[in-house]
Amino acid sequence: QNLAALGRLTASMAHEIRNPLSAVMQAADLLADEKRAEMRTRLSRIIVDNGRRIERLVREVLALGRRDQVLAEPLVVADFLQEMIDEMTLRGDDERALFALDVAPDAVLLFDRTHLHQILGNLLHNARRYCSGQLGAIRIQVLGGDRAVVVHVSDDGPGVPEEGQVSLFEPFFTSDPKGTGLGLYIARELAEANDAILEFVGNTPGAHFVLTARSAR
């Protein structure tokens, strides 16, 4: 089963790389003969944008390759989330105001730090991409317990269309033309590697995801 899944992923990966690679090669060929400055700028942008897309694809698949390298440690969720939000809100308080946090101060989960950063990073970046941009548009609630820590991430955006919900965690499924479609797939794989569960639980009104992980208490 794993070999079959790997075969499908490899075939999909080859297909997903072929398109931006073709665009890079075509633009590079045209650039060599193009004299107009405006067109040269446009062709250069095509090369850079598609090069970055290929780089993202490779980086995310490499992360999947590290799925079995789990170094679990106790992580205080409130501190971990604060550090992540600090990274995402370098523009200041207006950007920070997007996030509404309700985090149990004693919630400590057992997780690989790098894996948790990738999972929550994916959820928070998606929430920011689709939210309204209003005060408290992204809601993060963390409930702590003796056996499990439950992390809720939701936004006030349009949500996931019903027809797309069954495919959310499939590799290369995306509604974002600049996305790779690997983020949620890899996030769920990394969650499972840490004996955790990542689920889409519906639209409230935007996409609402729940990560249930082992408590370190």
> What's the distance, CA 102 to chain centroid?
21
Cβ atoms < 10 Å from Cβ of 91: 8
- Alpha-carbon distance 55 to 87, whole Å? 21
- The token duo for 73 is 């440690």
User: Which pLDDT score, from 0 to 100, does residue 9 have?
Assistant: 62
Cβ atoms < 10 Å from Cβ of 112: 21
User: Which pLDDT score, from 0 to 100, does residue 176 have?
Assistant: 56
- Alpha-carbon distance 179 to 12, whole Å? 15
- Alpha-carbon distance 56 to 49, whole Å? 11
**What letter does residue 70 receive in the DSSP assignment?**
-
Q: Which residues of the chain have pLDDT under 70?
A: 1-16, 56, 59-68, 172-181
> What's the distance, CA 199 to chain centroid?
14
Angle at 204 between CA 202 and CA 206, to 5 degrees: 85
User: Which pLDDT score, from 0 to 100, does residue 110 have?
Assistant: 95
User: Which pLDDT score, from 0 to 100, does residue 36 have?
Assistant: 85
